[in-house]
Amino acid sequence: MKDNSVYEKKAKTERIWKGIITACGVMIILLTISIVIFLAVKGTKTFTVFNHSVGEFLFSSEWSPKDAVGQAGGKVGAAVYIYGSLLTCGLSLLIALPFSLAAAIFMTEISPRVGTKVFRPAVEIFVGIPSVVYGWIGLTVLVPFIKRAFHARMGGFSVLAAALVLAVMIFPTITTMAADSIRSVPDLYREAAYGMGSTRFQVIRKVVLPAALPGIVTGVILGLSRAFGEALAVAMVIGKTRAFPKDLLSPTSNLTAAIAADMGNSADGGEANTALWSMALLLLLICMFLILVIHLIAGKEKKNET
Amino acid sequence: MRNLNRGKKLGAIIIAGLFAIGLSACGTASAETIAKTENQTTTAGQTTTEGQSTTAAAAKKTGTIKGSVAAAGSSALLPLAQAAGEDFMQENPDCTIAVNGGGSGTGLKQVADGSVDIGNSDVFAEEKLDAEVAKGLTDHKVCTVTMAAVVNKSLGVTNLTTQQLTDIFTGKITNWKDAGGPDKEIMLVTRPASSGTRALFKKWAIGGAEEASNAALETDDSGTLLQTIEGNDGAIGYVALPYLIKDNAVMAVAIDGVDATLDNTYNGTYKVWGYEHMYTKGEGSEAAQAYINYMMGDEFAGNIEAMGYGVSSKLSQDAAASHQ
């Protein structure tokens, strides 16, 4: 009898907590869905209310939307911003990936003890550094350096500066994901390879890396989505010139910087403001696409295991 | 072991929950106090209904204005509005003035939908809002702000004609040797398309011409713009005079031989200036009116000029007529 009451009490608290946790979870889901809907409604107005074509938005580089409520007929070609985002993110990945892979291999395969005690915490601190700090250092150190070293025409504000800053920012994400994934490769694989006379390099290259590939790709995509969404640090060093860059030392602009520059001042509900919402929607779609890719990879991996 | 872990998790959840409850409790508490002070404002307002100027005068002597005023908008007006708010709060300890930035567009929108008492703007409300909505707002031209084209001191260019300035900013001239300077490439540093500073400069300095955005660096704020000009000797940009009080590494350029000074703004010879607006919905609350009157009053006028802004009442007829 006594036991039963204790059991009931426990079951009651269990139910209460279950309810609280479910409510929290549902709230987060609702929040996400409402943000998506909000962006979709705001962002599609460029095409439904102001009658611009999606093609113009994506592929034209003429940008002169009217910044007043009730006026229409400007140009909303965001190609420069889209190209700027793709270019800087792609370049940053090219720069960061070799370093990330090398760091991940070092801290798991070559020197696991230093890796777990020193290297890993150090990399994790990287993640916690606020992006304004990266941007500020970029602005005060990197930009003048590029100007002096390469005699950049526009004072060092350039695609290169933006790509370098982004590379530093996505390095820890890719590194930690890659390291986790390499660590989870069963030792059996390594031992088998060593048993057949492989050198350490051969083991890493031919056995460990291929086995860890899905995790590494997931890290790369997470890093990319961070790079796409980063506004502040990039805006401080990219120069925000509305033109396709001629070379790595030319300034250009990107989606996040363009949104941040005009969102507060532009007239709410005007053509310019609406076009910025469309750019925000595009960013969301890009990141959703990247996350979808992660899920596809994860799903494939599970299938392979079974 | 398992139980222990579970206990820890439960503890963490409880702590998080407590935090959330605590936060919301704080939120409601402060909301209540605001509501209370607002009630007090209205009662205070009812006792002093002898017109705006007397209210403001009474406020200076006795400091009886109570309540809270929230303002948001223009970043160009922000430092002055904050300074005026602090002075005003010292004289009226029962009044709270909170001024935020966010941009002119944000300020106008928020005052129109009632989320702030005062919307600060560099431009007339009619330019950014629906005509219907703009009609419901009251414009207070609290001060003027003068814009100057600025270059690096080492460049040695001190004067530009309107034509030269237009050619430079539209990208027609790309080397300083074509504008009476040394053989050096011109580096344009501008502000975003929606910036009030840019709108004023476009209208009054370069005759409405469209800036060459595809060849210019763009900076979100005037401070960064000045830094960029400091670091690059071929650079040219424009800022409001308040930003030039402290800075010595950059130099304002005279336009058609007229220096960018407050005196030249007042007498109408220097054209590149605009009003800074504070918009209230209808008449605005008593506290908001008192604050705006204090800012436009004689006592604060000295501070306005010391910070680099212009006093609206000092404008000559010519100057005021040119900017109607």
Mean pLDDT of the region B291-306: 90
Q: What dotted CATH number matches B146-266?
A: 3.40.190.10
CB distance A263–B103 less than 8 Å?
yes
Q: What dotted CATH number matches B67-144+275-322?
A: 3.40.190.10
- Which residues on adjacent β-strands are paired with residue B258? B255
Residue of A18, A265, A279 for testing the chain B interface, max B β-carbons within 10 Å: A265
Nearest to A253 by CA among A56, A83, A133: A83
User: Cα angle at B149 between B148 and B154, to 5 degrees?
Assistant: 120
Which ipTM score applies to this complex?
A: 0.77
CB distance B103–A265 less than 8 Å?
yes
Please report, for chain B, the start and end positions of each structural domain, with discontinuous segments joined by +. Answer: 67-144+275-322, 146-266
CA dist A188 → A104, A185, B323 (Å) = 20, 8, 81
- Residue B215: its chain A contacts at CB < 8 A? 241, 243
CA of residue A279 relative to chain centroid, distance: 16
* pLDDT tens, position by position, B120-173: 998 888 888 888 888 899 999 999 999 999 999 999 899 999 999 999 999 999
Judge whether residue B52 has pLDDT over 90: no
**pTM of the complete model:** 0.79
Rounded to whole angstroms, the Cα distance separating A228 from A223 reads 9
Separation of first and last alpha carbons in chain A:
47
Instruction: Classify residue B142 by its DSSP letter.
Output: E
Rounded to whole angstroms, the Cα distance separating A209 from A42 reads 44
Counting as low any pLDDT under 70, the low residues of chain A are: 1-3, 302, 304-306
CB distance A68–B106 less than 8 Å?
no
What is the reported pLDDT for B47? 38
Query: A80: which residues sit within 8 A by CB, 6+ positions away?
Result: A61, A63, A242, A243, A244, A252, A253
* pLDDT tens, position by position, A115-156: 888 888 888 888 888 889 999 999 999 999 998 899 887 888
- Residue A267: its chain B contacts at CB < 8 A? 105, 108-109, 127-129, 194
Nearest by CB: B218 against A17, A241, A265: A241
CA dist B315 → A284, B29, B76, B200, B256 (Å) = 50, 46, 20, 17, 21
Nearest by CB: A265 against B196, B214, B235: B196
Q: Give me the total of CB pairs closer than 8 Å, taking one residue from chain A and one from chain B.
A: 98
A183 touches B: beta carbon within 8 Å: no
Confidence class for position B9, pLDDT limits 50, 70, 90: low
- Residue B220: its chain A contacts at CB < 8 A? 235, 260-261
Phi, psi dihedral angles at A215 (to 5 degrees): -65, -40
Q: Closest residue of A to B109, CA-based?
A: A268
What is the reported pLDDT for A93? 94
Rounded to whole angstroms, the Cα distance separating A233 from A221 reads 19
CB distance B216–A261 less than 8 Å?
no
- Residue A70: its chain B contacts at CB < 8 A? 130-131
Tokens at A278, concatenated: 């469309």
Same fold, B67-144+275-322 and B146-266: yes
Judge whether residue B21 has pLDDT over 60: no
B68 touches A: beta carbon within 8 Å: no
- Cα distance from B215 to chain A (closest Cα, Å)? 6
Nearest to B101 by CA among B120, B122, B125: B120
Asked if residue A146 lies in contact with residue A249, where contact means CB atoms within 8 angstroms, the answer is yes
Largest CA distance in chain A: 86
Judge whether residue B43 has pLDDT over 50: no
Place of tokens 């939908």: B113
Instruction: Classify residue B147 by its DSSP letter.
Output: E
What is the reported pLDDT for A269? 83
User: Cα angle at B75 between B59 and B214, to 5 degrees?
Assistant: 160
* pLDDT tens, position by position, B76-99: 898 899 999 999 999 888 899 999
CB distance A69–B185 less than 8 Å?
no
- The 10 Å CB-count burial string (b at 16+, else e) for A255-281 is bbbbbbbbbbbbbbbbbbbbbbbbbbb
Nearest by CB: A240 against B17, B105, B217: B217
Asked if residue B253 lies in contact with residue B149, where contact means CB atoms within 8 angstroms, the answer is yes
- Which residues on adjacent β-strands are paired with residue B145? B274
Rounded to whole angstroms, the Cα distance separating B37 from B181 reads 60
Tokens at B91, concatenated: 């004289």
Q: Position B260: which residue type?
A: A
Nearest by CB: A155 against B10, B194, B231: B231
- Residue B10: its chain A contacts at CB < 8 A? 17
Would you tell me how many other CB atoms lie within 10 Å of the CB of residue B272?
24
Q: Closest residue of B to A154, CA-based?
A: B187
Nearest by CB: A242 against B104, B185, B213: B213
Place of tokens 């929606």: B194
Instruction: Classify residue B193 by its DSSP letter.
Output: T
Q: Position B266: which residue type?
A: Y
What is the reported pLDDT for B46? 40
Rounded to whole angstroms, the Cα distance separating B122 from B276 reads 5
Q: B116 in helix, strand or coil?
A: coil
CB distance B17–A20 less than 8 Å?
yes
What is the reported pLDDT for B31? 39
B217 touches A: beta carbon within 8 Å: yes
A154 touches B: beta carbon within 8 Å: yes
A213 touches B: beta carbon within 8 Å: no
Q: Are strands B250-255 and B159-160 parallel, antiparallel or unpaired?
A: parallel
Assign 3-class secondary structure to chain A.
CHHHHHHHHHHHHHHHHHHHHHHHHHHHHHHHHHHHHHHHHHHCHHHHCCCCCHHHHHHCCCECCCCCCCCCCCCECCHHHHHHHHHHHHHHHHHHHHHHHHHHHHHHHHCHHHHHHHHHHHHHHHHHCCHHHHHHHHHHHHHHHHHHHHCCCCCCCCHHHHHHHHHHHHHHHHHHHHHHHHHCCCHHHHHHHHHCCCCHHHHHHHHHHHHHHHHHHHHHHHHHHHHHHCCHHHHHHHECCCCCCCCCCCCECCHHHHHHHHCCCCCCCCHHHHHHHHHHHHHHHHHHHHHHHHHHHHHHHHHHHC
CB distance A69–B128 less than 8 Å?
yes
CB distance A70–B131 less than 8 Å?
yes
CA pseudo-torsion sign B306, B309, B313, B314: positive
What is the reported pLDDT for A70? 76
Residue of B106, B202, B217, B225 for testing the chain A interface, max A β-carbons within 10 Å: B217
Query: B110: which residues sit within 8 A by CB, 6+ positions away?
Result: B72, B73, B102, B116, B119
* pLDDT tens, position by position, B224-282: 888 889 888 899 999 988 888 876 789 999 999 999 999 999 999 999 999 999 999 98
Nearest by CB: B104 against A147, A154, A265: A265
- Cα distance from A64 to chain B (closest Cα, Å)? 9
Would you tell me how many other CB atoms lie within 10 Å of the CB of residue B50?
10
* Helices (H) then strands (E): counts for chain B: 13, 10
Nearest to B117 by CA among B304, B282, B312: B282
